Structure 1
């Protein structure tokens, strides 16, 4: 049987929903001895709305978020897709196998969890030892990325426990939710800190972030697009990982009619509203109740003008409305009104950078304690918070492309997490 021709995903910079699966010639160049390099091939990929954020913002010049340069354009990439002024590549969270290695401590067959290439072609990583059980990509092209995107975690060998379906679900949840859970974990614990000083959501300590900014006690919190993996994890963190006396007065979900049932079934919200309810006289006022000192809006990727309308609509209902931007809608192009406000000091709108905040959190706790706390929190979420999520697997890069189109068009069930095995 003939070997499959490798292919990679290429995305149009002008419209990140437009993409192509492009066949290329396999790289047969041997790794140089003593180069501290490995060659990997992706085996499992997740596909979430967060993946679209990498495509949309990867070339905007944000420090540490140079997602378009995670993996190079192969020399065999045909025209017009080899035009780097018009096209880009990104990566996605998942698993890979080492198929070649010059590092004695990394054997062929080692499995990595991390930021993987989208496609079936082999890619080369230049690695240095990181924290225990972790390796860090240190090549020149990856210097524009924060450490969280360059870290590869060694997956322990199989222990013989669990059926194939159970193993796929566990790995699928890791691929789908672990990086998104990390965003929610650090936002809840380190920006909305209830002890010590909070850290600005960008993770930049030089940018002011006051005790008032960090305070949630007594606030009314609105989560936009809460049925996504990050929103669900954040609601779980706010409800399950904060002292009772440090929780908001109310946590309100605002989503689509389609996602309402799933959101209600999570049991994590005091109220569940739909995007259009902001236009219904008295609807939101009744939910907010007695005028709070603070309303916090966290946007996890609501579509269209919904985030702008909700922030504007809530302003008369509290002494202060604070907005934090976490996710990006898969659809839009360019910078939203709120994203522009986030660049203006004093606007009350804050952009989050999960990677930057994670690095700042490691400085607060120390890397080893941070990794332990993150892992323990994620395992608790997998057990207690992700039970309603269905992990649906596809196979092959062509099915991945179909999933990309379905998310871009809004044709996906919020209860479903998409993962793809790549043979």
Structure 2
């Protein structure tokens, strides 16, 4: 019996609300030239999925995987409903592109569901990479149209639910963001920053405070900042993790931070005073998605006493979309927003596309094989388990040391 594809559909305004919709009557057109047909086979859920939902209307993330034509009412109303995206592996179920044979796999930005989709592609500049060329996808940031090609043997690793597959899906993009931040936004030589002024980019001697320090990107950032290969003269004075009570024990167990404090019960000024931070020192606060606006409360208190305080926003917390509040305005605050794709384009321009990716692949393999530890992979199977995983995130039931992975 042929598989009846199922897709996840979300309410765009209240994306905690999801529905699994079967599509028994959906049929795909024949493949065009230079095209592949893919079906999602292994995907992860992280807090990143909720960031895509939160700002999807600004960055076109609701449009990456359109609602199919056969979708029944009311879910075919694209003014209300949409599909969001995930990272993972898809099997190539058909191909007219010689560089990607049928039966192989691609890793990249995928739809949540089992409905295959057709994509027009071309070879990338970097061996083993392809780029999506469909017109409707060109309004997306380029990083989301870049896919990695893998051999058919990946199917055995997915069937075995291997940690290696999970690490690639769950952590790789998070690590890439941190690699770009520590190497190109806040590099050892601040004069080489591709985005910030040398003064803002300089973390030498600064006290770094990270919110959501146990997040995949936050943890990688701290570990890369404290990497022995980074010159000692460029390193921060302290790297502090401001964790929720829920995740504090895990964050401490990673050894990635000089100290871990409570984001809710510790007083920020008391923390800085205790570790000996002078009032003229730089305090650099990084928010990787701390809950309940904790980072902004610390920023307001610290900025009032430490004029050189600066703030960098990276991720959004998994908060109720119907109750989200705008952050406060803090006069004179040096504020930066991380855009991973923008950083990537600047980094490739600086180093050369192939040279950048060669350097990154080496750094990722080292991190994956020697640094990444303590992450407990929780595998689920089928779209029903994906639905349950999404609900766990909305209820704040996903532990900091968990990674949710699904074979569908």
**Same topology, TM > 0.5:** yes
Tell me if structure 2 keeps the 8 A contact 1:136–1:151: yes
1:152 aligns with 2:147: yes
Equivalent-residue separation in structure 2 for 1:156 and 1:292 (angstroms): 55
Equivalent-residue separation in structure 2 for 1:267 and 1:412 (angstroms): 21
What SS is found at the alignment partner of 1:223?
strand
Per-residue displacement from partner, 1:100-144 (whole Å, max 9, x unpaired)?
A: 111122211111010011001111111111121111111111112
Which residue number in structure 2 is paired with residue 305 of structure 1? 293
What is the Cα-based RMSD across aligned positions, in Å? 2.3
Which residue number in structure 1 is paired with residue 219 of structure 2? 232
Change (3 A) 1:385 1:288: farther
Which residue number in structure 2 is paired with residue 46 of structure 1? 44
Alignment of 1:114-133 (within 5 A): 114-130=108-124, 131-133=126-128
Equivalent-residue separation in structure 2 for 1:282 and 1:360 (angstroms): 39
What SS is found at the alignment partner of 1:194?
coil
What SS is found at the alignment partner of 1:182?
helix
Following TM superposition, by how much is the alpha carbon of 1:32 offset from its aligned partner in structure 2, in angstroms? 4.0
What SS is found at the alignment partner of 2:192?
coil
Bigger drift between 116-125 and 233-242 goes to: 233-242
Which residue number in structure 1 is paired with residue 335 of structure 2? 349
Which residue number in structure 1 is paired with residue 231 of structure 2? 243
1:179 aligns with 2:178: no
Tell me if structure 1 keeps the 8 A contact 2:28–2:118: no
Equivalent-residue separation in structure 2 for 1:374 and 1:270 (angstroms): 26
1:194 aligns with 2:192: no
Equivalent-residue separation in structure 1 for 2:335 and 2:320 (angstroms): 19
Equivalent-residue separation in structure 2 for 1:107 and 1:161 (angstroms): 17
Equivalent-residue separation in structure 1 for 2:107 and 2:394 (angstroms): 25
Following TM superposition, by how much is the alpha carbon of 1:164 offset from its aligned partner in structure 2, in angstroms? 6.9
1:295 aligns with 2:295: no
Equivalent-residue separation in structure 2 for 1:162 and 1:280 (angstroms): 46
1:17 aligns with 2:12: no
Equivalent-residue separation in structure 1 for 2:280 and 2:360 (angstroms): 32
Equivalent-residue separation in structure 1 for 2:233 and 2:151 (angstroms): 39
Which residue number in structure 1 is paired with residue 378 of structure 2? 392
1:135 aligns with 2:133: no
1:331 aligns with 2:319: yes
Tell me if structure 1 keeps the 8 A contact 2:320–2:394: no
Match of 1:103 among 90, 94, 97: 97
Equivalent-residue separation in structure 1 for 2:6 and 2:200 (angstroms): 46
Change (3 A) 1:280 1:369: closer
1:277 aligns with 2:265: yes
Following TM superposition, by how much is the alpha carbon of 1:31 offset from its aligned partner in structure 2, in angstroms? 2.0
Equivalent-residue separation in structure 2 for 1:417 and 1:41 (angstroms): 22
Change (3 A) 1:159 1:324: closer
Equivalent-residue separation in structure 2 for 1:281 and 1:211 (angstroms): 26
Change (3 A) 1:26 1:352: farther
Tell me if structure 2 keeps the 8 A contact 1:7–1:21: yes
Structure 2, unpaired ranges of 5+:
none
Equivalent-residue separation in structure 2 for 1:32 and 1:101 (angstroms): 7
Match of 2:353 among 347, 352, 367: 367
Following TM superposition, by how much is the alpha carbon of 1:284 offset from its aligned partner in structure 2, in angstroms? 4.2
Tell me if structure 2 keeps the 8 A contact 1:11–1:89: yes
Which residue number in structure 2 is paired with residue 205 of structure 1? none
Per-residue displacement from partner, 1:339-387 (whole Å, max 9, x unpaired)?
A: x859x9x641111111111111111111111111111111121123221
Which residue number in structure 2 is paired with residue 211 of structure 1? 198
Equivalent-residue separation in structure 2 for 1:281 and 1:52 (angstroms): 32
Aligned pair count? 404
Change (3 A) 1:239 1:12: same
Match of 1:407 among 383, 388, 393: 393
Alignment of 1:255-274 (within 5 A): 255-274=243-262
Equivalent-residue separation in structure 2 for 1:375 and 1:193 (angstroms): 18
Which residue number in structure 2 is paired with residue 286 of structure 1? 274
Following TM superposition, by how much is the alpha carbon of 1:99 offset from its aligned partner in structure 2, in angstroms? 0.4
Following TM superposition, by how much is the alpha carbon of 1:280 offset from its aligned partner in structure 2, in angstroms? 7.4
